[in-house]
Structure formats: structure tokens, C-alpha cells
Amino acid sequence: MTLVRFISADGDAEMEVRAAPGARLLDVAQEVGQPLEGTCEGQMACSTCHVIVDADDFAKLPRASEEEEDMLDLASHVTRHSRLACQILVSPDMNGMRVTLAPVLE
Ligand code: FES
């Protein structure tokens, strides 16, 4: 199992989760009640699954596809380390990874 740490958008709360390799990060977050929408269920049509990966952990992820980059261009609060959680599959390399949820738009 791979340890993933979900950080709330305001940085006040952290939840440690053990995830099975191969699981989609969006599904892992939703299964433990993290407020990550994923409206299009991974069809890359919404960007509501946007997360910010800690800088040290970002390089452990495979590169984002062009399609993912295009969707991130449409998201709010994007940083250099933003990704779509529906496109991240948990791997052992990610053990200990910290992921901050993007602020929910009002
Ligand atoms: S769930 Fe819609 S882009 Fe990830």
C-alpha cells in the first residue's frame, strides 16, 4: 500500500490514507470523504478534480498528457504543480506524497 496525505485547501487539515497501487487518486480521495468533485468521472471535461502536488513529490508522477494540460489551463488556482486527480494512478514511487485540494469555488 502507498501512503498518500491529503491536505485541505486551507492547509488546516491533513489525512493520511493507504492506497492500493493502481488506484485512481480521485477514487481514493472520494472513498475517504475528501471534498474532491470529479464531475466528469475522469473524462477530462471538468477539471473539478484538480489537486496541487507538493513540489518534492511532483517529479515522482508521470508527465501530464497534453489533454490534461489543456484541462488544467481552464481550472482556477492552478500552480506549476497542479494535476488532475482522475489522471493519477497510485504507484509505490508516490509513497508519502502530499496532495493539497484546490479551493472549492463559491
Ligand atoms: S474528473 Fe473531470 S477532469 Fe478529472
Q: Which of 48, 66, 73, 74 to mutate to test the pocket of ligand 1 (most atoms within 8 A of CB)?
A: 48
Is the Cβ–Cβ distance between 40 and 46 less than 8 Å? yes
* 50-84 pLDDT tens trace: 999 999 999 999 999 999 999 999 888 899 999 99
**Any residues with CB less than 8 A from the CB of 72 and at least 6 apart, and which?**
47, 50, 64, 78, 82, 83, 84
Atom of ligand 1 nearest to the CA of 48: 2
Whole-prediction pTM: 0.92
Give the mean pLDDT of 74-95.
Answer: 93
Q: Which atom of ligand 1 is nearest to the CA of 50?
A: 4
